[in-house]
Amino acid sequence: MNQLSRVRDRQRLRQAAPSDDAHLPWAGRWPAPAGIGLLALLIAFVGSWNPSFWDDEIATISAAGRSSADLMELLRSVDAVHGFYYFFMHAWTSVFGFSEVAMRLPSALAVGLACAGTVIIGRKLGSESIGIASGLVLAVLPRMVWAGTEARQSAFTALLAVGLTLLLIRAWESNRPLDWVLYGLCAVAGVCMFMFFALAVASHAVAAIILRRRPLAVLITCAAAGAAVLPFLLFAMTQKAQVEWIQNRSLLENLTIAAVKQFFYGDDRPTGNLPPQWVLGFVLVLGLTQVGLVAWGLWSVRAMSAYRPLVVLSLTGVALPMLGLLLVSVALQPVYVARYLTFTAPLFALLVGLGLDRLRAGRRWLLPIAAILVVLSSLVPQLTIKSFVNEPVDTERQIAGLIGAQTTKPAGIVYLHPELRDMALAYPQDFRLITDLSLEESPADSGTLWGKNGAVTADQLKGRGDVWFVGAGGGAPNDLSAFEAAGCQQTRNLTFQRMALLSYTCP
């Protein structure tokens, strides 16, 4: 792009926008990123202590709570793809503990920093108003709020994607070896944080080729980063059994999930507890509004070459990872899970921010309507994300609390499957009087997340007094033969969607 073309584009932008960016609230080098970052932190953090820990978060607790040597042993057999995050949380929890607030605060901080960085990207590739709009969109986006409300690495992948994009822009401008090295190191860190981050790096390579902006330097740096992480990726792929829980869906089913959950509804807990219809109505409004804004923004700047880097980087950064994961899911192995692509959220927010900015420049009367729809429709799904409404009745915290409240003297417990032990790992205070009769090897000793079970016999149950049984829910069969052989009397039978809770007296 020659200098004359850039000047003409800037002139067209000034003619299209009647007000100057300098008069915007928070305009300036640091006020906008700092203010929006703090706002995003608060939105993600407030109420994050309401939801119960769920399966994946409890996996973080299980991993982070063991010694470094035991953690390394775990990663050799399972969850190597999460190892970078587990070691970070191992250090964090050694200082701050394992409460919901302590475990989720790092994710909320990462969300705040990611939103601040998104403001800077929008400013560098577009204008101050695009940066502010994009940062605010990302701060309330349900996918991003969910990432800031769970003790997993999704929020960190978004932060690293923002950092990677800023480093790419810097390297494009300076072409200094140090900046390319920093870009490569950030790419390596991102893939080590989560292997599918490699798709974000690949999207940058594609964008550089399309834009013809130092494509050789980008390709060389990406190749070097790829070579550095290749051993890690190959090893992580040997543990593909860890994603066998992902349902085998058709392309249409995956597209439907992507359309709803990728950005517009963030809750990923496998509870089978669908949100109320009125919440889904706001999700639909949010999706239609934001997709409409993206379409309007792209159409409005179709002839403005100054916006081309923003458009190409954002489109490739959203479309390529989604397409890649969808194709792998349909052709090879099911891997599409919306939260795995949380790192695309900042780039999607930039496209929405562009649309809002073009309304400001071209159809000003629509701007407040669109802004209100975006904010309101984004905030409503958070009522379910943060369990203000529609909390499942069989969360780990509720079942653990029920067991703890009903256990006033030493008792035993039997888990049908090791993973059902997760509630005891997350809320050990409710199990302080309870002996795990089914535990053969602890999680640390067995190098697993949940430990290993051994068969419980009638002889073990005789004379135990009160014994709890935690089995499969939803009407699935449970093996209760040992209780029957021991002559235990059932005193309670509560069947939930995901688990069954039975209590016995074993004389």
Q: What pLDDT is attached to residue 246?
A: 78
**Residue 119: what pLDDT?**
97
- What is the spatial distance between Cα 219 and Cα 222, in angstroms, rounded to a whole number? 5
What's the one-letter identity of residue 448? Answer: T
Q: Look at residue 25 in the predicted model and tell me its pLDDT.
A: 55
Q: Which residue positions in the chain have pLDDT lower than 70? A: 1-28, 270-273
Q: Map tokens 């640091």 to a residue.
A: 30
Q: Is 97 exposed, middle or buried (0-12, 13-18, 19+ CB in 10 A)?
A: exposed
At residue 24, the pLDDT reads 57
The tokens for 109 are 């901080």
Q: What pLDDT is stored for residue 229 in this prediction?
A: 96
Predicted confidence (pLDDT) per residue in 449-479, tens digit: 999 999 999 999 999 999 999 999 887 889 9
**The two structure tokens encoding residue 326:** 């969808």
d(CA 222, CA 168): 11
CA atoms within 13 A of residue 77's CA, in its CB half-sphere = 14
Residue in the structure block whose two tokens are 């069969």 = 477
What is the CB neighbour count within 10 angstroms for residue 49?
Answer: 16
Six-digit token string for 168: 């790419």
Q: How much is the pLDDT for 250?
A: 84
Asked if residue 321 lies in contact with residue 200, where contact means CB atoms within 8 angstroms, the answer is yes
The one-letter amino acid at 456:
V
Q: Helix, strand, or coil here: 482?
A: helix
Cα–Cα dist 259/270, whole Å: 18
pTM, full prediction = 0.91
Phi, psi of 447 (to 5 degrees): 65, 30
The pLDDT value given to residue 13 = 45
Q: Is 242 strand, coil or helix?
A: helix
What is d(CA 179, CA 458) in angstroms, rounded to the nearest whole number? Answer: 67
Q: How much is the pLDDT for 458?
A: 95
Give the per-residue pLDDT at 361.
Answer: 76
436: which DSSP letter?
Answer: E
Q: What token pair was written down for 323?
A: 């397409």
Give the pLDDT confidence score for residue 442 in this predicted structure: 95
What's the Cα-to-Cα distance from 467 to each of 395, 503, 504, rounded to whole Å? 21, 6, 5
